[in-house]
Structure 1
Amino acid sequence: MDNTLMIGLSRQMALRQAMDVVANNIANANTAGFKVESLLIDNETAPTAQQDDGPTNLQFVEAWGMGRDFRQGELNVTGRPLDVGIEGQGFFAVTVNGAEQYTRDGRFRLDQTGQLTAHDGAPVLDAASRAPIMLNPSAQATTITDNGTVMQDGVAMGTIGVFEVANLAGLSKQGNGRYVQTDNSDGRNEPQAALSPVMHQGFVEASNVQPIIEMTDMMTIMRSYQSVSKFIEQAEDISRRAVERLGQV
């Protein structure tokens, strides 16, 4: 295939991936704790076919990763006693099939056994023991202090853990607004309990997606895709005319 077409097609493939990312951001604009994502794109150098003149290398477009903006979203008031929002850095920890996952979504509830869980039933982990937090479903009053200590009728039942991740780039998305630490082969990147976390009872962190910016990015991607399509059509037309002229010689 002609080098011009290959370059154009590589750009189109990257733009389609970027469009999927932007569409996912917009779809999660109202998802608690969601962090906006962006496609990371770079140039990939490849040699051309052997020729006597012209460039010796071509620059193709390559999508090599996903960037995430972990800045805090707005804390919205819900008034629910088991909703918790983190102010500052860190993640709540839950356990799924025995593995720890990390999230900013603080929409908690009690299951039938009195265990504090995420909205989908995953147990929330204690800061010190990293074990599930057991509460009394029949307690008259439940209060969560700024450091995450859960008080029921004046008795401390446990402390909701906020864990800090040293290398945010090592987090891998798992769905449901959760991440796992993949860059921990030597144990040095194990998330650690925050020393002075700040939490707010009755609040939930909103997504940090800015819909207007995402819509602007979507329109920019669409225009870029159309431009590349026109570029490919023109290249094909030039090739077709060259073949026709050769046939007339």
Structure 2
Amino acid sequence: MSFFVSLSGLRNASTDLEVISNNIANAESVGFKKSNAQFADLVSGSSATDPRKTPGIGATVSAISQDFALGQLEQTGRALDVAINGDGFIATNDAISGEVSFTRNGNLQLVANGELQDAFGNPVQGFPLDATGTPTSFTPSDITVPTTNAGGAALSSVGIDLRGVLSAVYTDGSVDPISQVALATFPSTGGLNPIGLTKWEATAESGPPEFGQPGVGNFGQIRSGSLERSNVDLAEEMVALLGAQRNFQANARAIDTATAFTQTILNLQR
């Protein structure tokens, strides 16, 4: 039995190492959120078992939880780099599948046809605005900036304010509010499913997205000219890495010891 107990410990230590290694590998990934492996013991027994004689049968991974704590906001000076100072995710529409995913990576770009996209070419979702900058609908849709205004003037530049309002500046000096970046929150953020590229998708555990305006209620403000760094603390991860390595070595040593015991018993039977 001791072989299987130590084997479960080896597996858990290996899982812990994988989680820590993934955190370290993504220390520079914009908007990345670190994860933590959690473990639970396995007990061989029942209500009729004497608790004073129950050795247990090892451990198992109980959960790999995500830590959505805010990372540092780093200034870039680029107008279309945005960070969320508080709760919320930027919603993007997958250009191929049409599925909506959510990210904290605000490295946005404006393509030739005026569409606002994330760093991977997916349209960013926002609320349409009237001429005064008031939302006309709270159903998110793709953000597209007209490349010319009603007077025929060409697009000169764009900007995003604290409320997530994207305004277009044209060569005739006019400034038009175009759209407001839509933010999404979830009843249970920990239930979001990471799908890579620092993006998440909603699940039954997370609940459906609740869309709202930046800076209103629990939704964070938009910081233009900044990006949110990963919330991975390398010093903390290195300490955890040493602990996982020691755990792995200890379980491997326990297997060696059990092997020696077994060999001794077999030699006595000869």
- TM-score scaled to structure 1, two decimals? 0.90
Which amino acid is 1:134 matched to? T
Alignment of 1:15-164 (within 5 A): 15-46=13-44, 55=53, 58-96=56-94, 97-127=97-127, 128-137=138-147, 138-153=154-169, 154-164=175-185
Is the counterpart of residue 11 in structure 1 residue 21 in structure 2? no
Write the distance in 2 (CA, Å) between the matches of 1:177 and 1:193.
19
- How much has 1:56 moved relative to structure 2? 5.0
The superposition leaves residues 66-112 of structure 1 with CA deviations (integer Å, 9 ceiling, x where unpaired) of 11110100110111111110001110011121111111000000123
Q: Deviations over 1:152-196 (max 9, x none)?
A: 121011011111111112201100011111116xxx932112351
Conservation of the 8 A alpha-carbon contact between 1:116 and 1:133: yes
Question: Once structures 1 and 2 are overlaid, which stretch shifts more, 130-139 or 95-104?
Answer: 130-139
SS, match of residue 142 in structure 2: coil
Task: Identify the range of structure 1 (125-134 vs 229-238) with the bigger mean alpha-carbon deviation.
Answer: 125-134
Q: Which residue of 2 aligns with 1:180?
A: 201
User: Which secondary structure state, in structure 1, belongs to the residue aligned with residue 144 of structure 2?
Assistant: coil
Following superposition, the deviation at residue 65 of structure 1 comes to: 2.3
Query: Which residue is equivalent to 1:51?
Result: none
Structure 2, gaps ≥5 residues long: 47-51, 128-137, 148-153, 170-174
TM-score (normalised: structure 2) = 0.83
Moved over 6 A (4+): none
The answer as to whether partners of 2:165 and 2:177 remain within 8 angstroms in 1 is: yes
In structure 2, how many angstroms separate the alpha carbons of the residues matched to 1:47 and 1:240? 28
SS in 1 for 2:269: helix
- Tell me how far 1:57 sits from its aligned partner: 6.1
Aligned-partner SS, 2:27: coil
Q: 2-side partners of 1:56 and 1:71: how far apart? A: 39
Instruction: Give SS of 1:163's match.
Output: strand
Q: Which residue number corresponds to residue 218 of structure 1? A: 241
Residues in 2 aligned to 1:56 and 1:26: alpha-carbon distance in whole angstroms: 38
Query: Number of aligned pairs?
Result: 239
Q: Distance in 1 between matches of 2:258 and 2:31?
A: 46
Question: RMSD between aligned alpha carbons?
Answer: 2.1
Q: Residue deviations 1:129-161, cap 9 Å, x none?
A: 311100145522311111101001210110111
For residue 229 of structure 1, what is the amino acid of its counterpart? A
Unaligned runs of 5+ in 1: 49-53
Contact 2:164 2:180 in 1 (8 A): yes
Rounded to whole Å, the distance in 2 between the matches of 1:152 and 1:15 is 53
1:193 aligned residue:
211
Task: Please identify, of 232-241 and 133-142, the stretch whose mean Cα deviation from structure 2 is larger.
Answer: 133-142
Residues 6-27 of structure 1: CA deviation (Å, up to 9, x unaligned): 0000010011011011011001
**What is the rounded CA distance, in whole Å, between the counterparts of 1:179 and 1:9 in structure 2?**
33
- Please tell me whether the aligned partners of residues 4 and 232 of structure 1 are also in contact (alpha carbons under 8 angstroms): yes
Query: Which secondary structure does the structure 1 equivalent of 2:254 belong to?
Result: helix
Aligned match of 2:268 in 223, 240, 245?
245
Letter paired with 2:168: Q
SS at match of 2:57: strand
**1:13-68: per-residue Cα shift (whole Å, max 9, x none)?**
011011011011001001000001111211223459xxxxx845623211132111
